[in-house]
Amino acid sequence: MTTNSVLTTLLHRTPPFIPENAEVMTMTVELPPGDPGTPPHRHSGPVFGYVTEGTVVFELEGEPERLIRAGEAFWEPGGDVIHYQAGNGLAGEWTRFVVVMLGVPGEPMLTLVDEAELEARRDRRAPR
């Protein structure tokens, strides 16, 4: 069989863990212009994403803030790592991305982090 398919690797990572009997959820996220995204949170398992439109301001615990643009992929390990931001980096345009999340069965895919924990772990956040 002949095919003209073209495969392009966008991201290749080995996550530190995949929850046993993981639940998998694929979602689209749409952020209006300038939207900061979800407040600091964590995921019960790894998350893989692809920006389809716009620019995401992305920051994980221990890593500096960075911009991820349309056509680029990202990932986060999940578990205990705080995801500080995934906001729209554009003031005048929408940003859209797709995420695939692997989670622990019966646990929320996303859990917000309270101010007390953010303060207790502030030394783990990269300088801004």
Establish if 34 belongs to a structural domain. Answer: yes
CATH of the domain at 96: 2.60.120.10
The pLDDT tens digits for 47-104 are 999 999 999 999 999 999 999 999 999 999 999 999 999 999 999 999 999 999 999 9
Establish if 12 belongs to a structural domain. Answer: no
Establish if 98 belongs to a structural domain. Answer: yes
Domain extent for 52: 23-124
| Model confidence band, residue 2 (pLDDT cutoffs 50, 70, 90) | confident
Establish if 6 belongs to a structural domain. Answer: no
**Between the CA of residue 111 and those of 34, 41, 46, 81, 108, what are the distances in Å?**
23, 5, 13, 11, 6
Contact 102, 45 (CB under 8 A): yes
- Distance, first Cα to last Cα, the chain: 53
How many folded domains does the chain comprise? 1
| Model confidence band, residue 16 (pLDDT cutoffs 50, 70, 90) | confident
Tell me the pTM: 0.91
Contact 56, 67 (CB under 8 A): yes
Establish if 28 belongs to a structural domain. Answer: yes
